[in-house]
């Protein structure tokens, strides 16, 4: 059997207006001091792909419009809801007060391995991803309801933040949509 690649016109994707009113995956992403504009754009694209509710851009994390974010976001900054906040900790406190379950994606004591974490239907989750070098701030880790670690088996100690977002968002999306 031969496979033919589909053209973009054959993919039957929704447009920005349809995205804005579509039912969203109950996930919020919090980017805690992300320095790479390409990583930020990549996160927007992943958020668009999986109908993420919202992205909070915190601290030094740059905000759209910016040509380097746009280069990797490919327009996803227009579809995905986002908000800037100076402090990730304040966003975490606010979301927790609204009943959102907050999980820092980090390597920490008592962290739960991603494959062992089971998101519950009817719960909204906020996932915190940290700086490319320093990770999620300790005060944010301490305030989180859980810490989730992506299992890794090689010699390196971390993944690129945009890769981490892709792995975790896909895991949550697939678990929430297959239950």
> How wide is the angle at C-alpha 5 spanned by C-alphas 4 and 8, nearest 5°?
140
The strand pair at 125-130 and 101-105 is best described as parallel
Q: Is 1 exposed, middle or buried (0-12, 13-18, 19+ CB in 10 A)?
A: exposed
CB 121 within 8 A of CB 25: no
Query: What confidence score (pLDDT) does residue 178 get?
Result: 72
Residue 12, exposed/middle/buried by CB under 10 A (0-12, 13-18, 19+)?
exposed
Taking the model in full, what pTM does it have?
A: 0.96
| pLDDT tens over the chain, length 179 residues | 899 999 998 998 999 999 999 999 999 999 999 999 999 999 999 999 999 999 999 999 999 999 999 999 999 999 999 999 999 999 999 999 999 999 999 999 999 999 999 999 999 999 999 999 999 999 999 999 999 999 999 999 899 999 999 999 999 999 998 75
Pick the closest to residue 53 from 153, 169, 158, 160 (CA basis): 169
Q: Which domains, ranges and CATH numbers included, belong to the chain?
A: 22-178 (3.40.1280.10)
pLDDT value of position 179: 52
Round to whole Å and give the CA distance between 124 and 94. 13
Enclosing H/E stretch for 129 = strand 125-130
Around Cβ 105, how many Cβ atoms within 10 Å?
28
């Amino acid at each position: 059997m031969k496979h033919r690649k589909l053209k973009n016109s054959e993919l039957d994707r929704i447009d920005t207006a349809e995205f804005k009113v579509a039912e969203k995956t109950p996930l919020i992403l919090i980017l805690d001091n992300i320095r790479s504009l390409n990583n930020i754009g990549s996160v927007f694209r992943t958020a668009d792909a999986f109908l993420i509710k919202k992205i909070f851009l915190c601290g030094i994390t740059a905000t759209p419009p910016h040509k380097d974010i746009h280069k990797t976001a490919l327009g996803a900054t227009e579809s995905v809801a986002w908000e800037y906040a100076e402090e990730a900790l304040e966003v975490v406190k606010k979301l927790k007060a609204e009943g959102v379950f907050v999980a820092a994606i980090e390597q920490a004591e008592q962290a739960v391995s991603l494959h062992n974490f089971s998101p519950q239907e009817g719960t909204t989750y906020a996932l915190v991803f940290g700086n490319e070098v320093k990770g999620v701030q300790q005060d944010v880790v301490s305030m989180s309801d859980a810490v989730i670690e992506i299992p890794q088996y090689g010699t390196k100690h971390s993944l690129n933040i945009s890769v981490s977002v892709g792995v975790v968002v896909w895991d949550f999306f697939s678990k929430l949509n297959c239950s």
